[in-house]
Structure formats: structure tokens, C-alpha cells
Amino acid sequence: MMNFQTLVKSYESNKPYIAMLLVQAIYAGMALLSKASISSGMNPFIFVVYRQAFATLSLAPFAYFFERKDVPHLSYTLIWKIFFSSLIGLTITLNMYYHGLNHTSATFAAASTNLIPAITFVIALILRIERIYIKELHGSAKLIGSIVSVCGALVFAFVKGPSLNFMTWYTSGENSEVASTTNQFSSTGEFIKGPLTILFANILWSCWSIMQAPIMKEYPAKLSLITLQCFFSMIQATLWAGVMERNLSSWKLGWDVNLLSVAYCGVIVTAFTYWLQLWSIQKRGPVFTSMFTPLALIITAVVSSFVWKEIIYVGSVCGAVLLAAGLYLVLWGKSRELDGKISEQKPEEETTLESIKTQE
């Protein structure tokens, strides 16, 4: 009985860790399934339409059930703000991401997400939302971490070096043909197009995340806000895909990997993962949730090497290490900065309490 109680207590204390492991596994699945669907011939622009449709349909009931009494009034100005943020952060970002995924590997797509904290910090610095104190240790850590992350992404994308031959038993015969197809872009120069497109999509996503803070002050209902953005994005993506792809047969969904991918990305990634991340942030804070980001890259790289026989190069490994190191430097610096602000506020609170006692 005691062993069972100990197990329950251990599970309760480790729930945030389990949740974040699940989140990163889901993100890895998103990169893998999306790559499989687009490689099988599905139009990337149509993929975005169906993904946003599934996301809207899955989020709307939860938004209505949990926030129907607390939804603030929507002004015309606020509607246009939400519409514009949806265009930048969801429609254009996702279209560029999936278009770039068609010209690069799922492993790089997963690796590029490690850049988002550093990119967000740099943009916030330019807009003077964030400040940096180079003389302070945490300020230097954030600056160096941002530079290291960008260097890591460039190394991962453009530096190959010798291949790691730990899977030679798996890349022979038919498998070697798949491997050569996987590396087709490296021989034609197309490999530059995919990484640059995805990197630009990450920049837009960082811009979108910065835009959310002022919008949420006017519209704090989080579930309703993301539902509205997915709905607007679905309309925008439909118009864009209609212009880019006029063949009606391309819009058909069958019981195949295409249906599985768009349903997975819309329902599991957008709805379920969003809720899990919010829950983890409430329990342990945003820095804790960000620390698990490199796991998606590791899972994607391992699965891709087995499923699509992707060859792992020394340059990719070095780039991934630099990405992770830069990410942790940025997050460590941000964490130390927040700790410093909290410690500065405590003496003021204690002084206030002392003055109250003196007055009494």
C-alpha cells in the first residue's frame, strides 16, 4: 500500500515533466507527419486550410463551454488586430513553413523551432520591449545565447561534413535508394530554399508572439482568442490556396496519411498541446516549458533516420548542439533576470509591512 502511495506522489510531482515530454513528442510527430503528407503530393497551401479548419472545429466547443460568460466585447479595431495577427502569425507563417518543409528535412524543421526564443528576444530588443544589460551576467548570457543559436541554425542547415555510419546496416539496397532521394536537394542546390523559408517563417512566428501581449490585454479570453485566429486564418488560407491551386482534385481527402496529418496538426497540436502548455506554464512557469524544446529535435532525428533513412551528418549534430546551447543560455539569462527582479521587489514589500506595523 505504501509503495502505491509513493508511486502516486511521485506521479503527481512529476506531472509537469510528463506533460512537457508529451508536448515535445507531439511536436516531433507534427514535423514527421507533415513531411510525410507533403512528400506524398499534398499541396502545402491546401494542407494549411484543412489544418486550420480542424483546429477551429476542435477549439470552438471548449472556448464556448469555458469562456462563454467571460468573453469581452469585440470592437472593430480589435477585430482587425486579431485578423492581422492571424494573417502574419498563422496564415503566412504556416504556408511558408509547409512550403519550406517540401524542400528540406523534418529534422531541420524541428531544429529550427529552437531558434524561436532567440529570435523573439532580438525582435523585442529592437522594438525596445526587452532590455539588455551587457555588464550583467544575465544580459551577456542572453546576447551570447542568441548569437550561438543563429550560428547553430546556419551550421545545421548548410554544413554537412562526414556522415555518421552507425546505421550502415539499414541503408543498403532499396533503403539506399530512399536515402539518395532524401538527399536530392543537397545535390541540386535546392537545400538552401527550404531552410531559409522555414527560418523566415520562424521570424514571423516570433513577431506574432510579441503581438499577442497587447491583444490579450484587450481580449484576455485565451481560448476564444486562439479560436478566432484559427477561424480567420482558415478563411485567409482558403482564399490563398484557391488562387494557387485551382485543380479541385487536389482538395480531396481520403483515408490516408493526408487526413491523418491535417487532423493531427489541427486537433492534437493546436488544441491539446496548447492546453498542456498553458497548464505547465501555470505549474512551473514559461522558462520550464521552453527548456524541453530540444527534445523534439532529438525525437525527430531518430525517427527520421529509421523511417526515411535520413543520413545524419557531423555538421548537423554540431549545429544541433549549438542550437541547444544557445537556447539554454538565453533561457538561463532570462530566468536570472526574472529572479533578480523578484528579489528587488521583496525588500520593498517588507518595508511596506514594517511601516504598517509601526503605524499600528
**DSSP secondary structure letter of residue 130:** S
Partners of 73 in the β-ladder: none
Structural contact between residues 155 and 318, judged by C-beta atoms closer than 8 angstroms: yes
What the block records as the C-alpha cell of 353 is 509591512
Looking at residue 359, its pLDDT comes to 39
Task: Report pLDDT for 165.
Answer: 62
SS3 content of the chain, % helix, strand, coil (to 5): 80, 0, 15
In the chain, the amino acid numbered 209 is: S
Residue 163 sits at φ, ψ, to 5 deg, of -85, 155
Alpha helices in 191-313 (DSSP H): 193-218, 222-244, 257-263, 273-284, 286-290, 294-307
Q: What is the pLDDT of residue 105?
A: 78
The one-letter amino acid code at 42 reads: M
Mean of the per-residue pLDDT values of the chain: 77
Alpha-carbon dihedral of residues 153, 156, 159, 162, nearest 10 degrees? Answer: 160
What distances in angstroms separate CA 90 from CA 127, 176, 205, one per listed residue?
21, 37, 8
SS3 313: strand
Summarize pLDDT for 294-347 with one digit per residue, the tens: 777 778 877 777 776 777 778 878 888 888 888 788 778 877 776 666 555 555
Question: At CB < 8 A and 24+ separation, what contacts does 273-278 make?
Answer: 273/23, 273/26, 273/27, 274/226, 275/62, 276/19, 276/20, 276/22, 276/23, 277/23, 278/222
**pLDDT less than 70: residues of the chain:** 1-13, 130, 157, 165-191, 278, 281-282, 284-291, 308, 338-360
Q: What pTM, to 2 d.p., does this model score?
A: 0.75
User: What pLDDT, on the 0 to 100 scale, is given for residue 297?
Assistant: 76
| Bridge partner residues of 43 (DSSP) | none
